[in-house]
Amino acid sequence: MKAIVVVAAVALVVVLVVTVAGDCTWSQDITSRSWDESVCPEPYILIGNTTCLYISQWGVVRNWSAAQTYCSVYEGELAVINDCALLGEVWTLTQHVLNLTGNFWVGGSDAEAEGSWVWERTVKSVPMGVPFWLPGHPDGDTHENKLMIADNGYFTDGNQTEEHYFICQDFSTLGSITG
Ligand SMILES: [Ca+2]
């Protein structure tokens, strides 16, 4: 009887570790999730019932500016991620459904004023601190002025010349909600 309890406890711990994106948690049942491809224009998919995103996949990495250009080809821009639940959904999709281990450029920058992070599209403030940012970050000073989602599910700052995966957002369909 005691052994069964221990096994159950270990299983619970594993589930919790797998499904925490930074501190932005959501439903622990990955297998029941679906991402709707019918609402948003191709190649975007509806994530979190609110946002049309395109997530670059295997082999498609760009520096920050080239990623922004890539998004513009699909009439979008690098994504605005203001919501903790959306960040959790994105992280789970990238890391555990697409199995992409790496960093993802999104549309934030502090290039205009060091330490003052804004979304390039809206010029509104990027959420700071936990649960969005990796504790201790941003830490790159003027060497790292662009925003990415790290593979641990947190925001972190990166150098714009680095090549990473990236996330584009279509603002034409549901832009009034998140843009
Ligand atoms: Ca900076």
Q: Measured at the alpha carbon of residue 58, what is the angle toward residues 56 and 64, in degrees to the nearest 5?
A: 45
Ligand 1 mean position, distance from CA 96 (Å): 29
Tell me the whole-structure pTM to 2 decimals. 0.82
> Backbone phi, then psi, for 146, in 5-degree steps?
-130, 150
- pLDDT tens digits, one per residue of 15-53: 443 444 456 755 445 565 666 777 899 999 998 878 999
Helix (H, G, I), strand (E, B) or coil at 80: coil
The domain that holds 128 is classified in CATH as: 3.10.100.10
Assess whether pLDDT exceeds 90 at residue 8: no
- Cα of 97 vs centre of ligand 1, distance in Å, is 31
Q: Which domain holds residue 11?
A: 2-178
Cα–ligand 1 centroid distance for 104 (angstroms): 17
Residue type, 32: S
Query: Across the chain, what does the average pLDDT equal?
Result: 83
Q: Could you tell me which residues come within 8 angstroms of residue 12 by beta carbon, excluding any fewer than 6 positions away?
A: none
Residue 20 alpha carbon to ligand 1 centre in Å? 27
Query: What is the Å distance from ligand 1's center to 160 Cα?
Result: 10
User: Is-contact 70 163, C-beta < 8 A?
Assistant: no
Number of folded domains in the chain? 1
Are 161 and 35 a contacting pair, CB within 8 Å? Answer: no
Amino acid at 174: L
Question: Is 70 exceeded by the pLDDT of residue 156?
Answer: yes
Which pLDDT band holds residue 116 (cuts at 50, 70, 90)? very high
